[in-house]
């Protein structure tokens, strides 16, 4: 008597549970379609617009992220260095060069799941275009390391993988079709361990 309703309940639980699980996996897997890759940097220019694909809209809603207009901002992320090796807090990196034209840019680190790492509040966990020291040509060198260094230093967790997030605000490149020709800063490994 209870066998058929029990089987129906189990089937519905599996169907709904599997559907919810697969949706969450799809939202965590990608920001959407139409990614551009410039060295280690990756951006989804259409993910911020009203014409974004449904996956990008769902990802943005799930994460509670701010929506920029097409010329207001563009976010690039990097999970690897120039050689394709995953960024890790066990190593130190140098980010050097120029950013594309922007009125303001910000740089900070996140964990692979997008959360900000918990660190000492006294350490520089984010930098921006107004605080970074530059040379005469406007280029910068930022050391990304768990160990303090003089000059431009971005603190990262001492262990585990991380991602860099570079956001260009009020930039003409966000609304441009020439995104592939942009010159992005280089990310080079300079040592691991106590080096």
Asked whether the predicted pLDDT for residue 181 surpasses 80, the reply is no
pLDDT of residue 89: 86
pLDDT single digits (tens) 42-66: 877 766 666 666 666 666 666 666 6
Asked if 184 contacts 76 with a C-beta cutoff of 8 angstroms, the reply is yes
Instruction: Kindly tell me the burial class for residue 171, based on how many C-beta atoms sit within 10 Å of its own C-beta (0-12, 13-18, 19 or more).
Output: buried
Q: How confident is the model at residue 74 (pLDDT cuts 50, 70, 90)?
A: confident
pLDDT of residue 142: 92
pLDDT single digits (tens) 110-153: 887 777 766 666 778 888 889 888 888 888 999 998 888 888 99
Q: For residue 187, give every residue at least 6 positions away whose Cβ sits within 8 Å of its Cβ, in sequence order, or none.
A: 39, 40, 78, 80, 81, 82, 87, 93, 94, 95, 144, 164
Helix (H) or strand (E) holding 16: helix 3-29
Q: CA 100, 37, 191: angle at the middle one, nearest 5?
A: 80
- What is the full DSSP assignment across 103-170? SEEEEEEE-TTSPPPP--TTS--EEETTT----TTS-EEEEEESS--SSEEEE--SSSB-EEEEEEES
35 versus 90: the higher-pLDDT residue is 90
pLDDT of residue 95: 92
d(CA 27, CA 21): 10
Asked if 78 contacts 189 with a C-beta cutoff of 8 angstroms, the reply is no
pLDDT of residue 93: 93
pLDDT of residue 143: 93
Across 38-47, 92-101, 168-177, least confident range: 168-177
pTM, rounded to two decimals: 0.72
Mean pLDDT of 158-175: 79
């Amino acid at each position: 008597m209870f066998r058929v309703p029990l089987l129906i309940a189990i089937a519905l639980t599996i169907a709904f549970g599997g559907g919810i699980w697969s949706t969450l996996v799809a939202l965590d897997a990608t920001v959407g379609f139409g990614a551009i890759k410039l060295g280690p940097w990756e951006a989804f220019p259409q993910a911020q617009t009203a014409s974004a694909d449904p996956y990008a809209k769902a990802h943005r809603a799930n994460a509670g992220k701010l929506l920029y207009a097409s010329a207001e901002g563009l976010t690039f992320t990097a999970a690897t260095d120039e050689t394709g090796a995953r960024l890790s807090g066990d190593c130190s990196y140098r980010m050097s060069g120029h950013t594309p034209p922007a009125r303001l840019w910000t740089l900070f680190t996140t964990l692979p799941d997008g959360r900000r790492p918990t660190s000492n509040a006294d350490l520089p966990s984010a930098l921006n275009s107004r605080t970074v020291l530059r040379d005469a040509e406007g280029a910068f060198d930022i050391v990304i390391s768990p160990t303090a260094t003089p000059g431009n230093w971005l603190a990262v967790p001492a262990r585990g993988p991380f991602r860099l997030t570079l956001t260009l605000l009020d930039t003409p490149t966000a609304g441009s079709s020439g995104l592939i020709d942009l010159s992005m800063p280089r990310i080079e490994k300079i040592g691991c361990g106590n080096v």
